[in-house]
């Protein structure tokens, strides 16, 4: 079995902000986030609706060799879900689960992003995609009240694997409640074919009760400020990747893992046991040189 890993980390909100700012400062003057007028672009051919998936699944590889207009429709849902056996939590999610839906596009694509905030939600939300070159990574254009939708467009200038997250204040609370996911911008030449691809994301939860205390748990702001998580999990719940939920591969398969860390506070020391990665990339490193 062969493994390769793509890894991106959201260490903290401060880091995320810094990355967005740096991208803005270093971007060519003529290439900020696309405005509607810039949608008239000869390189953009046709349009399609993005396939979004829930972890550990990844949308299918992009086969086309041209840029297109990709319409992404993502809905924020505040939902009670299982955090551990007997333990429930009111997660704030992009797409109904933690981590948020995986988004896959191609370098050069023009993305028309629709963020819907479900009418039953209590809070306003937005989205900051680190793949976006522009104000707040889209956050400034996507602040959305419950029962409303917002829309903005951007051009995917740089290939890489990027975090997205809610950037509504208090950001630590929104991220700490599960508001993060990943977007992959494939390089123009695509990625080498592999047997399997999976999506794994770490995150922490800060509950008023102790680890294992049963019932519906609520967010504990003091624990979050002190960076004392009650739960540190992959893919949103205890045991999300074991037993009948384990990700699988056959002997001889090549497996590509897209690994992220939503935090909001801890770093991740992700590793696999009993196998060696053939390749790894960090965050925005070029994937064009993949074997």
Residue 235's Cβ-count burial label (10 Å; 0-12, 13-18, 19+) is buried
- The residue from 179, 182, 200, 259 that contacts Cu ion (CB under 5 A) is 179
For residues 31 to 50, the per-residue mask of contacts with Cu ion, x marking binding by CB under 5 A and - elsewhere, is --------------------
> Quick one: CA dihedral 52, 2, 185, 188, positive or negative?
negative
Q: 111 and 153 in contact (C-beta within 8 Å)? A: yes
Q: Which of residues 71-90 bind Cu ion (CB under 5 A)?
A: none
For residue 91, the minimal CB distance to Cu ion (Å) is 11
**Residues β-bridged to residue 199:** 258
DSSP state of 210: P
Of residues 180 and 199, the one with the C-beta less far from Cu ion: 180
Q: For Cu ion, which stretch binds (CB under 5 A), given 93-101, 133-141, 179-187, 259-267?
A: 179-187
3 vs 180, beta carbon nearer Cu ion: 180
Q: Residue 125, interface with Cu ion (CB under 5 A)?
A: yes
Cβ(183)–Cβ(105) under 8 Å? Answer: yes
Residues in 202-261 that interact with Cu ion by CB under 5 A: none
The upper half-sphere exposure of residue 279, i.e. CA atoms within 13 Å in the direction of its Cβ, equals: 16
Query: Strand, coil or helix: what is 59?
Result: coil
What is the rounded distance in angstroms from the CA atom of residue 100 to the CA atom of residue 109?
Answer: 21
| Contact region with Cu ion (CB under 5 A), list: 16-24, 44-52, 99-107, 165-173 | 165-173
Give dist(CA 249, CA 69) in Å, integer. Answer: 34
How far, in Å, CA of 68 to CA of 73, rounded? 16
CA pair distance 104, 174, nearest whole angstrom: 23
Helix (H) / strand (E) containing 173: helix 171-176
Residue (73 or 196) nearer to Cu ion, CB: 73
Residue 121 vs 287, nearer CB to Cu ion: 121
Cβ-proximal residue to Cu ion, closest one: 166
Considering the complex, what minimum distance in angstroms separates the CB of residue 116 from Cu ion? 13
Q: Output the smallest distance, CB 125 to Cu ion, in A.
A: 3
CB nearer to Cu ion: pick between 148 and 280: 148
CB of 237 to Cu ion, least distance (A): 19
Of positions 54, 101, 153, 168, contacts Cu ion by CB under 5 A: 168
State which residue, 157 or 179, has the beta carbon closest to Cu ion.
Answer: 179
Quick check: 144 binds Cu ion (CB under 5 A)? no
The answer to whether 166 contacts Cu ion (rule: CB under 5 A) is yes
**How far apart, in Å, are the Cα atoms of 241 and each of 8, 69, 144, 155, 234?**
19, 34, 33, 34, 7
For residue 33, the 8-state DSSP code is S
In the list 174, 182, 229, 230, the residue contacting Cu ion (rule: CB under 5 A) is 174
Q: Minimum distance between the CB of residue 174 and Cu ion, rounded to whole angstroms?
A: 3
Under the rule (CB under 5 A), what is the footprint of Cu ion? 125, 166, 168, 174, 179
């Amino acid at each position: 079995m062969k493994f390769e890993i793509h890894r991106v980390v959201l260490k903290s909100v401060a880091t995320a902000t810094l990355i967005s700012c740096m991208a803005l400062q270093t971007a060519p003057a003529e290439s900020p986030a696309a405005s509607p007028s810039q949608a008239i672009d000869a390189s953009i051919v046709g349009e399609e609706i993005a396939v979004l998936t829930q972890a550990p699944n990844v949308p299918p590889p992009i086969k086309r060799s041209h840029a297109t207009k990709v319409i992404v429709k993502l809905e924020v849902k505040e939902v009670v879900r299982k955090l551990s056996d007997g333990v429930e939590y009111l997660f704030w999610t992009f797409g109904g689960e933690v981590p948020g839906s995986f988004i896959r596009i191609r370098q050069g694509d023009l993305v028309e992003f629709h963020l819907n905030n479900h009418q039953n939600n209590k809070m306003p939300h937005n989205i900051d995609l680190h793949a976006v070159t522009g104000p707040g990574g889209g956050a400034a254009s996507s602040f959305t009240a419950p029962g409303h939708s917002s829309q903005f467009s951007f051009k995917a200038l740089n290939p890489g694997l990027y975090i997205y997250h809610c950037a509504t204040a208090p950001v630590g609370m929104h991220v700490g409640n599960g508001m993060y996911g990943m977007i992959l911008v494939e390089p123009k030449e695509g990625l080498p074919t592999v047997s399997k691809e999976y999506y794994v994301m770490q995150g922490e939860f800060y509950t008023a009760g102790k680890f294992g205390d049963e019932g519906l748990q609520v967010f504990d702001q003091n624990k979050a400020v002190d960076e004392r998580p009650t739960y540190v999990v992959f893919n949103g719940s205890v045991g999300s990747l074991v037993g009948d939920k384990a990700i699988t591969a056959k002997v001889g398969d090549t497996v590509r893992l897209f690994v992220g860390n939503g935090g909001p506070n801890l770093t991740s020391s992700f590793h696999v046991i009993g196998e060696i990665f053939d390749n790894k990339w960090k965050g925005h490193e070029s994937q064009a040189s993949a074997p």
